[in-house]
Amino acid sequence: MAQTSALNVGVIGLGSMGMGAAQSCIKAGLNTFGVDLNPLALETLRQSGAQAAESSATSFASQLDAVLLLVVNAAQVKGILFGEQGVASKLKPGTVVMVSSTISSQDAQWIEQQLAQHQLLMLDAPVSGGAAKAALGEMTVMASGSDQAFERVQRVLDAVASKVYRIGSEIGLGSTVKIIHQLLAGVHIAAGAEAMALAARAGIPLDTMYDVVTNAAGNSWMFENRMRHVVDGDYSPKSAVDIFVKDLGLVADTAKALHFPLPLASTAFNMFTSASNAGFGKQDDSAVIKIFSGITLPEKKDQP
């Protein structure tokens, strides 16, 4: 495909990261189509210059050269592609489906097999970076797939990512790297929450504790980002507790398949599951700190 030709890309899932990715595609000059069930997200993308933004891809699927899926889990990916109104059957042969949800390697391989029956290519391409990086077109992509698939979505990758890691040609490798990354992310949030809970118990002001850690060796990106929410008492979900119940569950499944012990990840999984069971599943993942009793946490200040 000539780099100067028009490229039609459909972004399915216009949440915090999908919206940023879609807007980044528009800024890069790609003909961008969006799909989501949220009418506000659809209107936002239309205002950003999308070719179309609808609750279904049916009306424009046959025009697409590439599809970027940024939905919550494998069940949603499978439903969108192969369900009753499945997109896969409506795409033209040779279209690349870039699956950027966090899923297991086994699910990624199954999806590739089904796409192949429709003469479609797959890029196993999980992403990281959060809403802020997505909005800037600076996500990190950890991808595996054929050279042909990489070549055909190069302009999409250029639009949405500042770093693209080619893990290999085998579908499932990208997903495995993302799962290992999520092990670290989940453990960092859980450890940060434990540290801040101990500070609260000891009577240390949490804003002071936060400042010390973020200017010292114990800091991590996850601590700095998520424990800010705790200090502010703001648990509006950027990434929810239940997302890490899912992702650390995938970590546990991967470890089980490899017969490999993960003591820290197992503890973090139990912490997030406890938070979900306590009713905090839809809150920001920093709400895992709420599983600790006997402490008083900051409350969100009223906005002026």
Active site residues: 178
Q: Centre a 10 Å sphere on the Cβ of residue 175 and count the other Cβ atoms it contains.
A: 30
> d(Cα 173, Cα 277) in Å, to the nearest integer?
32
Spatial contact of 265 and 187, defined as CB atoms under 8 Å apart: yes
* Residue of 66, 76, 133, 141 lying closest to 98 (CA atoms): 66
In terms of C-beta density within 10 A (0-12 exposed, 13-18 middle, 19 or more buried), how is residue 78 classed? middle
Tell how strand 139-145 and strand 121-124 pair up.
Answer: antiparallel
Determine contact, residues 112/171, Cβ cutoff 8 Å. yes
Cβ contacts of 132 within 8 Å, gap of 6 or more: none
From 189, 167, 188, 192, select the one nearest 178 (Cα to Cα): 167
Measured between alpha carbons, how far is 100 from 142 in angstroms, rounded to an integer?
A: 9
Per-residue tokens: 150: 């990489």
CB 66 within 8 A of CB 156: yes
Residue 16 CA to residue 134 CA, distance in Å, equals 8
Amino acid identity of 140? T
Partners of 98 in the β-ladder: 68, 123
167: nearest Cα among 138, 141, 188: 141
